[in-house]
Amino acid sequence: MTKGENQKLKMLYLVQIFTRYTDDEHALTMQQIIDKLEACGVNANRKTLYLDFAELEHYGLDIISEKRGRSTYYHLGSRQFELPELKLLVDSVQAAKFITDTRSKALIKKLETLASHYEEKQLQRQVVISGRIKTVNKSVYNNVDTIYTAIGKEKQITFHYFQWDVHGNQVLRHHGALYQISPWSLLWDDEYYYLVGYDAAADQIKHYRVDKMKDLNVIDQKRLGQQTFKGFDLARYTRTIFGMYGGEETSVTLECENDKAGIMIDRFGKDLTLFPSDKDHFTVHVNVVPSGQFFGWVMSLGKGVKITAPAQVVRKMQDEVRRLMDDYL
């Protein structure tokens, strides 16, 4: 048999054929596999393919054979990513505000290549991106990578930080000066990426939205804040800060109707202790930053949740209620 022009790529093409053209619902006969290899410039026969299949199985490819009548059909069984897992990834990519619309589409196209040609269509039916609110900062994708690089090398970073004005223009904060921060972690909250780092000048932990950073660079200075971040609980930090607005953490007591127990546990975790106050209510102590976002969250739960302590937080809530009355009555 004359060798094909791509004979040395035979095993790679076999992997591609099994990955893209077979799944639990679609299989190929030996002749169909030979035909597809020939279309790729590779010659093969049944005897050598049996040996090739054995080598691929030894490598870890889950090739399944099934007898149907007089023919044997072959398909790929388990995969690195199963279809339900890919659907979850696609949903995450298309929902993420920090990824631009164009980048979302490109990422999803890459995820589609991990499924078979037939399963790919199911992923395509999930792609409903256009019209969603997405970031317009195209550098976010690279910013995340740069921050992870700095964390891995234990180096500091510098960047400009901006906010939007009423005309939709970027206005640099900090009077246009560079921020210099020791990066320690990235977190994803309310569909945005945040950098959590140590500000040596202020000697405290701060967080910044990654999509509002520009001119981000890793600098050759050792990362600081080791003692500050020793024992730091990122999950607790996220629960404490509502809407990622900073401030002083405070222990706040809430009185809640019993049907609000699930809401409290969902927000603050299963380790939360609920203290029954009467047959219809319970109290709970939570550590939060009492910001406008926190007060708004409490009000959104209706009359079933009330702040009862400490007194200074109750007064802040009263001030917020009076402000709303002045604005709307």
pLDDT for 185 equals 92
pLDDT for 265 equals 86
Express each pLDDT in 69-98 by its tens digit: 999 999 999 998 998 899 888 888 877 777
Task: Grade residue 268 by pLDDT with cuts at 50, 70 and 90.
Answer: confident
Range of lowest pLDDT (37-46, 71-80, 258-267): 258-267
Task: Grade residue 128 by pLDDT with cuts at 50, 70 and 90.
Answer: very low
* Percentage above 90 pLDDT, the chain: 60
CA distance 197 to 69: 64
Residues in the chain: 329
pLDDT for 289 equals 86
Q: Is the pLDDT of residue 167 over 60?
A: yes
Q: Which of 87-101, 233-247, 314-328 has the highest mean pLDDT?
A: 314-328
326 in helix, strand or coil?
helix
pLDDT for 271 equals 82
CB 62 within 8 A of CB 53: no
CB 99 within 8 A of CB 140: yes
pLDDT for 165 equals 80
Cα–Cα distances (Å) from 53 to 14, 56, 61, 222, in that order, read: 9, 5, 9, 51
Express each pLDDT in 201-221 by its tens digit: 999 999 998 988 999 999 999
pLDDT for 182 equals 97
Q: Which amino acid is at 70?
A: R
How are beta strands 192-199 and 213-222 bridged, if at all?
unpaired
Task: Grade residue 248 by pLDDT with cuts at 50, 70 and 90.
Answer: confident
pLDDT for 135 equals 62
pLDDT for 159 equals 97
Range 4-25 average pLDDT: 93
pLDDT for 245 equals 64
Range of lowest pLDDT (182-191, 233-242, 298-307): 233-242
Which residue bears the tokens 């319970």? 282
Q: Which DSSP category does 242 fall into?
A: G
CA distance 298 to 311: 16
